[in-house]
Amino acid sequence: MRVEEKSGTRARILEACRILFNERGPAEVTTAEIALAVGISEGNLHYHFRRKAQIVAALFDAFEAAIAEVASGSDANTPLDHDLTAWFNLMWEWRFLYAASVYRLSPGLQPRLKTISDENQARIRARLESLRRQGRLDASSADIERLVVNAWIVASYWIDYLRTRQGIAHVEREHLRWGLAQIRALFAPYLVDNAPARSFEPATFGC
């Protein structure tokens, strides 16, 4: 098998798994289903990935790359809503990674998840502090820290909330728009004058 063929098959396996895992979770998807979705034999699947945990780890690599791409397209002048919307889009595309069962399957991913959490909280904190320096946010340092933590809690556990507290078994994109509105409500009381218009410019959800 040529290198490009191996690479192409691996990419198709990962994309099929991302879709299947998002629908039902890694524990509920069999290797036979994965092979069928990709159009290969189970033996070929095992050639690329011997264990499902290896697939999850490879998908986590892609998730990290997607986060890095979003972060690279943002700076101090980017509307806050742009970043929030981008994060909720990532939540939708990689929603299976927000289930605790994933980290029982691949416990080695926990430290990497913490790093992602710390880095993204730092980005949100820096953005809020920039808004405060510009006079567009009326918030103390303690207020900003609470906003950072609360926004992260809502963003990271919103899907769990929908499933456990609202009884929504099948999460749709519209449900994530609801979560985005909850985070906007956290920031709104601290925004000054015309800040809402500048900080929460319309952003496309689900592009």
Amino acid at 32: A
For residues 84-108, average pLDDT: 86
83 lies in the same domain as 28: no
Q: Is 207 among the domain residues?
A: no
Model confidence at 21, pLDDT cuts 50, 70, 90, reads very high
Instruction: Give dist(CA 58, CA 65) in Å, integer.
Output: 11
Please check whether residue 80 is in contact with residue 200, taking contact to mean a CB–CB distance below 8 angstroms: yes
Q: What are the structure tokens assigned to 171, written together?
A: 């999460």
Q: Are residues 67 and 135 in the same domain?
A: yes
Same domain, 170 and 83: yes
- Of 39-43, 165-169, 179-183, 195-199, highest mean pLDDT: 39-43
Cα–Cα distance for residue pair 159/153, rounded to 1 Å: 11
Average predicted confidence (pLDDT) for the chain? 85
Range of the domain at 37: 1-50
Q: How far apart are CA 145 and CA 122, in angstroms?
A: 10
Same domain for 44 and 85? no
CA 56 – CA 59 distance, rounded (Å): 5
Query: 141-164 and 80-93 are packed helices; what angle lies between their axes, rounded to 10 degrees?
Result: 30
Based on the fold, state whether residues 91 and 180 are members of the same structural domain: yes
Least confident range of 27-31, 49-53, 138-142, 155-159: 155-159
Whether pTM > 0.85 for this model: the answer is no
70 and 169 both lie in a single domain: yes
> CB atoms < 10 A from the CB of 164, how many?
10
SS3 content of the chain, % helix, strand, coil (to 5): 75, 0, 20
Based on the structure, what is the number of domains in the chain? 2
Structure-token pair, residue 169 = 């078994």
Q: Give me the CATH number covering residue 63.
A: 1.10.357.10
pLDDT at res. 195: 55
Q: What is the CATH number of the domain that holds 7?
A: 1.10.10.60
Percent of residues, the chain, with pLDDT higher than 70: 89
